[in-house]
Amino acid sequence: MAKGNPKKPKGKMSAYAFFVQMCREHKKSPEGSVNFAEFSKCSERWKTMSGKEKSKFDEMAKVDKEMKDYGPAKGGKKKDPNALRRPPSGFFLLCSEFHPEIKFINSGISIGDVAKKLGEMWNNLNDSEKEPYTTKAAKLKEKCEKDVSDYNSKGKFDGKKGPAKVAQKRVEEEDEDEEDEKEKGEEEEEDE
């Protein structure tokens, strides 16, 4: 099964490739298959051709190199540059927190090895240790769903950053506000 646009050229063909293509057409038997004994003589013929005879194929290669007629398929699906991004999962929130630390501790480690260590770290956590990340991810998901509905109703998103980052920032700000409120509540209890 072919991929992409069927009108797209296969690539730049050389003068010799055009010559071989012509030879292949001329050396076909009446059944439609190529007689390889005759076809193999094409390379010998190319070597003995004069520059004047080769110029026809050079011109074909020059035109092919320019590929003026090729352009992207019309009516193709285009990505919306303002499209919303999916919020990060709990695992990715853990990764964003511990990636710099692992990279610092193991300097020179490859990206794949960092990912393996982060995966092992996530798998070794019990449910109670994963809970802060999963709850933050759930909050981000709620915010993103709200942003998606806003985006779909307005046709665009108002934020300058991607919605997942905006939602993540909002959740972090809310978490900080909640922590501040808890600290204030604890201070008031101590004062009493």
State residue 3's pLDDT score.
59
Structure tokens at 95: 């990764």
Report which DSSP code applies to 13.
P
Look at residue 149 and tell me whether its pLDDT is greater than 90. no
pLDDT band, residue 140 (cuts 50/70/90): very high
Mean pLDDT of the chain: 74
Looking at the domain that runs over 90-154, which CATH code has it been given?
Answer: 1.10.30
Cβ atoms within 10 A of the Cβ of 52, count? 7
Q: What is the DSSP string of 110-158?
A: -HHHHHHHHHHHHHHS-HHHHHHHHHHHHHHHHHHHHHHHHHHHHSS--
Query: What 3-state DSSP class applies to 34?
Result: strand
For residue 161, which phi and psi values (nearest 5 degrees)? -95, 170
For the entire predicted model, the pTM comes to: 0.42
Comparing 156 with 132, the larger pLDDT belongs to 132
Between the alpha carbon of residue 163 and those of residues 33, 34, 145, the distances in Å are 59, 59, 10
Look at residue 159 and tell me whether its pLDDT is greater than 60. no
Q: Where are the domains of the chain?
A: 15-66, 90-154
